[in-house]
Homo-oligomer: A and B are copies of this chain.
Amino acid sequence: MKCTIKDIAKEAGVSITTVSLVLNNKPCRVAVQTRENIIKISKRLHYKPNSTAKALVTKKTQTLGLIIPDISNPFFSELAKGVEMEAQKNNYHIIFCNSNQNGKKDLTNLELLISKQIDGLIISTSLNNSDTKYINQFNRLIFENELPVVAVDRKIPNKNYDTVSLDHREGGFLATMHLLELGHRKIGCITGPTDSDSANERYKGYIDALSLYDVPHDKSLVYHGDYQINSGIEGCEELIKKGVSAIFACNDMMACGAIRQARLMDKIIGKDISIIGFDNISICEILDQPLTTIHQPVYEMGKNACELIITLINEPRSKNQLIKFLPTLIKRATTNTYIED
């Protein structure tokens, strides 16, 4: 039932070498007739080469590892899609591992993937700057095994691998500029968690834009959130009390919370108050008042990371790349021109 290269060789009355040569389209002069015969037989027998055996000798598994914090997070599932689609196109397979925001798991997953002889790794790490012990072990493993690595979204501490990420600062800038251009001057900001680099960058972009418009940076208009819906609600309440006419929420979840709260306070969104989010999660469009937000080209980032790792595999000495994608503004219904009251 299961047939190997041997069975075909026997059936065709040739050596396994010849079969291997033919089936791999090697530039080798095999008589057209033998060639066709071998192909015919391999089809009849439904021959499927054993990639495990092949990998053992070629040292190439055509398999990539993908380590992410959580596949059920829309950001990462979209990323995974981009990676996988590109991989499929290039005859690679993806083994994915959830690390569950647990830095230690990044390490154990890496060990297992190395055991599996992956050709390259794409990782959005869960390692924190404080996990020194794991970080060192992680980097040593990569080094010892000469494993090509591409970091996505978050860089690996203490080491500069090729990286694909988003320019979060530019995103924060874009969002705030949009509000400024609409005439708003008293603009509140609900930030993300302070230990997140990307959240901090978004916040920096907000400051950048304000200073470009010579708007003094009033720290009392900054509410420190945690990317969860509740901090959107609480932040919004506080900021409205302080009289802001617009709010930049550093992610869409918090923007949703802000909308909810603003309505509760009888504000009409897009009139009494403008709200802009960040991420462009799918829900933004579905809302009965679609959310203005900053879009991250996540799919493209995944695709790109995959392209990059494949290049790295084929040209190990290619120079280190640091690709930053640019976010874009998606204007929808929650932001509008400032009207003095």
Contact = CB atoms under 8 A, between A and B. Distances in A.
Given A56-B56, A77-B72, A95-B93, A1 B117 contact: no
A78 interface: yes
A26 B204 CA distance: 58
Nearest to A298: B72
Nearest to A62: B116
A85 B98 CA distance: 7
A82 to B, nearest CB: 9
A333 to B, nearest CB: 11
A56 B70 CA distance: 32
Contact of A283 (B61, B71, B283): B283
A260 interface: yes
Interface size on A, as a range, is 35 or more
A165 to B, nearest CB: 19
Contacts of A72: 74, 77-78, 80-81, 299
Contacts of A113: 93
Interface in A64-101: 70-74, 76-78, 80-81, 84-85, 88, 93-98, 100
A229 B2 contact: no
A150 interface: no
Contacts of A98: 81, 84-85, 88
Contact of A51 (B81, B116, B141): B116
A172 to B, nearest CB: 22
Interface in A256-274: 256-257, 259-260, 263
Interface stretch (A42-50, A176-184, A239-247): A42-50
Contact of A288 (B55, B97, B114, B263): B263
Nearest to A105: B88
Contact of A53 (B2, B50, B56, B88): B56
A52 interface: yes
B74 A286 contact: no
Nearest to A45: B144
A118 to B, nearest CB: 10
A212 interface: no
Query: Which 4 pairs between the two chains have the least Cβ-Cβ distance?
Result: A77-B77, A283-B283, A260-B288, A72-B81
Given A72-B74, A93-B116, 11 more contacts: A1-B146, A50-B56, A50-B115, A51-B117, A52-B55, A71-B71, A71-B81, A72-B299, A85-B98, A85-B100, A282-B283
11 contacts: A1-B146, A2-B144, A52-B55, A53-B56, A63-B95, A70-B81, A73-B77, A256-B286, A256-B287, A256-B288, A260-B288
